[in-house]
Structure 1
Amino acid sequence: MGSSPFVLDFSDVTLDDLPLVGGKNASLGELHRHLASAGVRVPGGFAVTAAAYRHVLDRAGAWARLEAALDGLDVDDVADLEARSARARQVVLDAGIPDDLREAVEPALGRLLERYGPDLRLAVRSSATAEDLPEASFAGQHASYLDVGRDDLYVAMSRCFASLFTARAVHYRRRHGYDDLSVGLSVGVMKMVRSDVASSGVVFTVDTETGHPDVVLLTGSWGLGENVVQGAVDPDEFHVHKPTYRAGHRTVLHRRLGGKAVRMVTGASGPENVATPEEDRARYCLGDAEVLDLAGAAIAIEEHYGRPMDIEWAKDGVDGRTYVVQARPVTVAARAATVLERHVVQEHGRVLVTGRAVGERVATGRVRVVRDSRDLAAFEAGDVLVAETTTPDWEPVLASASAVVTEQGGRTCHAAIVARELGLPAVVGTGDATTTLVDGTEVSVSCAEGETGRVYDGRATVHVDRVDLSDLPRPRTRIMVNLGNPALALRTSMLPCDGVGLARTEFVISEVVKAHPLALLHPDRVADEGERAALAALVGGSGDGAAWFVDRLSEGVGMIAAAFFPRPVVVRMSDFKTNEYAGLLGGSGFEPHEANPMLGFRGASRYAHPAYEEGFALECRAMRRVREDMGLTNVVLMLPFVRRLAEADLVLERMADLGLVRGRDGLEVFAMCEIPNNVVLVDDFARRFDGLSIGSNDLTQLTLGVDRDSDLVAFDYDERDPGVMAMIRLAVEGCRRNGIHSGLCGQAPSDYPEFAEFLVEAGIDSMSLNPDSVLATTRVVLAAEQRVAAAAGDGAPLRA
């Protein structure tokens, strides 16, 4: 295409050209050449090469002045770093853009104008030759300019060249061992995607916090992408499950609505932030089809590169299409390690602020509120950096912080990326950290408690568990986990376990759905006007409460199932008591008052009863969506508190009528074994189900006649009572006799090692534990299996 040593069209560029066009441009060229057929859309453009950058400095005789500007630099002296880097930038700016380089650029610019028309606006972006590498991202280190007209192109190019010597870039290079003068800079010139009138954001092809490889995490907000990258907004989040996407399922796995308080638009003097209208804050910046389109592009890019990728996207508000505007390898993501380290907060002060957790660590330090770069001078190593947001200019100081707390931002913002790279815990998107946290006070920043990060007053007591997994064999007994919170699913799935033995839908309903299913179906029957208004606000503009319930419950369960896929996830249908159902939004008018809800209208007895059959139908719709639409066929359904055989038959029939037929498409249905009648009639129950999961909590209560919620008789409640253990042994033997699965999902094996040993001796197939006891109990189980095998004269029954 008439290219020169100074200019290459993207269509002529591949990854092999990285030394010439830098990481960003090499990747854009690679996408142009190899992935357009896979539906990956990239704006047209060209690269002004690193040879052109060196030519600029050669023609100006600038190298000696650059070297003098940086000679003897102490990068840890912030003032010296700022002064010398400014001097180096001025050397480059003074060199200008020579005529022969302009002559090389004009034909490429002409081709862009011919393709897109005379009103074309440009994005002019830096692309360093040591950038977007797997070991060093240089994220945000160099300048980019948006909405550039052709008359301003050469000024923008010169400023991009000069940005190779920002203080942050110089510091970053020195920290990673790069020589300042050997790194070159290319400039990408491309059609500007009009995301200023649409939306933009970032896609990661792994989960950023856990390194889970099977999900795509997409974040986005209204307007230009700088706000998402720099953490100036709380963005929307979407997850897509890669294995089921590849199998042909097209469903957004999980979503979270961000605040999106501001949007960046193109103003008269350049990009500027304006307040986001309330109606736009309340809706997602992308539709499902657009999320899935971008997820498909991200998966194709990851497969082409053969490694996890960090991708910037933008939607053009004029043509309505989404584009990939950058793709680089993920430099830092948690990875499965041979040594598992878990921080456990044991004691702490009051919670001061909360936000999105980045990382899985806990750190303590003194608060240092930074409102602008002038405050950085007072920052000391080990301080907790607290700011509205961070900028790449602060990278030298971030490297010495113990933790980072910001008011704005999501999990893919600059603060989050840098914190991961530096191994720091960060809590982003707190909203009020700079006004709530007081300079000089000691706080503990915890990112070890799930999706929500917390800043505690004072010094928290933290225990760090370190376990070498490299030589930990898998026992014959399946070790599973109890889980209800979808926000913990990805992290928990990284434990050495065989799946989820008890996924509690009650947590998803109470924390995500928030409302009683019948109140969502019949808001007109909710007497309280305030509750009706709250239901309407919860459901939003659609007014479809049934769809709200189905979507939220299926996304919560789907997140858990996807995290562990293809390992089994046993999902227990709702097991609220009537007083707990009544506590849901709008629930009081649909529930009777019972003197003893523990033994009342709960479990399977509700499912086919006229008082709740519509609610159960919604639960079944949600489970069908998880298995059929999302493709998560690893979900096993489980019925709780099945008192009688006739009740079991009635509920199984009702489920079949609602499309959940046991055996169809591999659907397995378990029952909780938690009532003495389940044990007495174990052979009859076993013929109706694919497995029984012993609920030791209720079985103990009903065997001993002890209310497990009563403090007065707590001394009589003990799962290790000989009578309870005899019941469990009979249940396990009955399952084995009938060839179905036996498991236990109660609290006992998590609390008592000797109880886990008993289960092994009884021959149980699986036990489901609290996540924090998985490793310790696995060791107990291994030892018990060794003893059982030795007594039987067999080898140890271990799995590879």
Structure 2
Amino acid sequence: MDKLYWLEKIKLQDRAEVGDKAFYLSKIMHRGYPVLPGFVIAASVLRKFLENLNSSEALVADLPHSSLHLDVNNWRQLRQVASGLRQEIINATVPPQLLNAILKAARQLETKYLIFRPSLMLPSMKQSIGSISGLLESQVCCCEPEAIAIALKQTWSQLFRARSLLYWQQVEIDLQQINFAILVQPIQNAIASGLLVANSSGWEIQATWGLGMAIAYGEVLPDSYYIHPETGAVLEQQLGNKTLAYDIDKTNYKVDLQHVSLSGEILECYCLQAYFLEEDQQKQYALPEENLQQLIGLAKQIAKEFGNNFTLKWTIPQQESSRALYLTQVIAPQLGISNFHFLKGLGAAAGRVTATAHVVANSRQKPTQIPKGVILVTSIITPDWLPILQQAGGIITEQGGLTSHAAILARELGIPAIGNLANATTFIQNGERVLIDGDKGEVYRLGMNTEEDVNKQEENSTRKQLEKLSVHQPNHSVYFEQPMTATKLLVNLSQPSLIEQVQSLPVDGVGLLRSELMLLTILDGEHPNTWLNEGRQTQLLERWCETIMQFARGFAPRPIFYRSLDWRSHEFSSLRDNLPSYAASKLGERGTFSYLANPTLFEIELTALATLQKAGYTNIHLILPFVRTLEEFRFCRQKVEQANLTQVPQFQLWIMAEVPSVLFLLPEYVKAGVQGISIGTNDLTQLLLGVDREQGQLAQAFDERHPAVMSAIAQLIRTAKEGGIPCSICGQAPALYPEIIESLVQWGITSISVEPEAFSRTYQAIARAEKSLLLEAARRQIQ
């Protein structure tokens, strides 16, 4: 049972025992490529371990020979079975003979820390598995008996995760067909880590400081190098956004046995830590020049031997004597290595769709168009991708959380979306069929498309879009039969194409009309300054009026709250214009501050609103975005008065409450003429907690439910109530976390605005919250 294979001694006949990752890494090691040494715990070791489990449970008693044909649609049962099986493995004792053998081999590596990498071979599949993203993960531990035992069982137990059992059954793989080995290698702190992706369009190197977890978790935007495949010349290099890095915490290592098995979820050993980089290090490239050239040389050699379609993962360990670069993984179809067919990301927009993947490896080169109905796969999406997204059937991004622009746009358009899926553009091939589940954040790779598949997809794209839209349209009678709610329910919109779909919903109006996204349908791919510089101001004004009028007419007499331009240049960089020096900034001169510097566009907006007022559309109101100071508001109010908008009694001038300064100055804003506020939870959360909405991993850790954010929202609602003005909320928080709606209603929120797809669940949450408050008030009266 203590069968171990040293990496440099693996032979062809050992492949089933060591798994494909170890087998092919050994193969390139034999050819002289720099690969970290290591050994493999054979697949037969796991089979023997499972056979010797001493348990009264019937499912466990049959392992590893049980096929476990569960009803995977019964999610509760699936989780119970998975939890039970994993519990049995964690509670079992690793045989002393096996543990001693592993410990002895580990000491030969002369390391204090080890990484356990799953290495599988599945004979039933046409292609073997080299990379297992989101299904089976590596474990890190110190080189001590107790830690090794726990890391070993943690790694094995992932075979029985709920999502693993679901996948095995969906691809018709029995457990006994799985050869599950573990590659054990030394791990130490790294100078830098990353990957090299080679395909027909060129080579791209990604690099970050420290261990590679920061890229894998989607927590950094790595440095990028674009390489000419034939010459190895660096065509372009771009500094990333690297705010943190990972290393081994040598001073605080521990294994928390208390939390290993209570919930069936196995926690990692605490020997990795994230730390923030100094500002000067953030501004430096992570990959040293000599190692860059070494990596390019290795890639050229691999291209000669195995073709120009492969991915390398690499690391540069911290060593006193040298800066040697090592390969930790090679993915290449010519080697017989393919990527795993199950990937796990972050569910960003609900829905399921199966379609052809359209991969845009370099998101800085936005395509002019994409085939209709495809699943768009790219690194990051900015708002100027909107015209393209209207053709997509689904979205997958490597970066971005629940409040990223990709997620917001997808939810408004009714498109399933998955964010924060690390290396998606590497693992997913252009042209292959992909199933994405936006509710669970799961991606299933189904193989390459045939011509017949493409034709069927094109024919069915319209029908699929209609089916998706119908999911979001509720049965109107259901809502009107229920009691009316005191809290108004509004919708967030930006696209005129959605008016007909949404106007029939029993909503109280449009709580947020995003002008910058609406404007993208007007500009013909050009920057608004281009229109002005070319003397097309009248034409721009006419289009602006016509587009706003569609919303005002479609929802009349219900109110339309139009938010004026919050133009963030870095998000619209593809539009042709000479961008200023602050264009790459996350904040720059955005919001009303930009109106002071150049009021031209704001004045055009006000003229458009005034024109519509004169035409009889009195249901349009104005929200000022990202207001930082009272001086900014007073400037804007003066412009509004000059446009004669305030002469219509129904008109209201609001501000977005998203900059923390509003928390302290709201009473002063009310005195200065603010007639209402709309809380923007996305920006408020970012600025209160210092979290970038596009960094999915951080966004997951710090969301709108954080006590600081909830306290700020409560203060804004109560201060608005004291000032006698309405308070709405239009950020993503109520839609993403309906459980907070009861608190919002209790504090006195006057309206909630959400994407159309969240209308039904938000309405129900408001109704429950108001009913609960009424019941509580009745109980107090009785007492």
- Taking structure 2 as the reference length, what is the TM-score of the superposition? 0.43
Larger radius of gyration: 1
Q: TM-score by structure 1 length?
A: 0.42
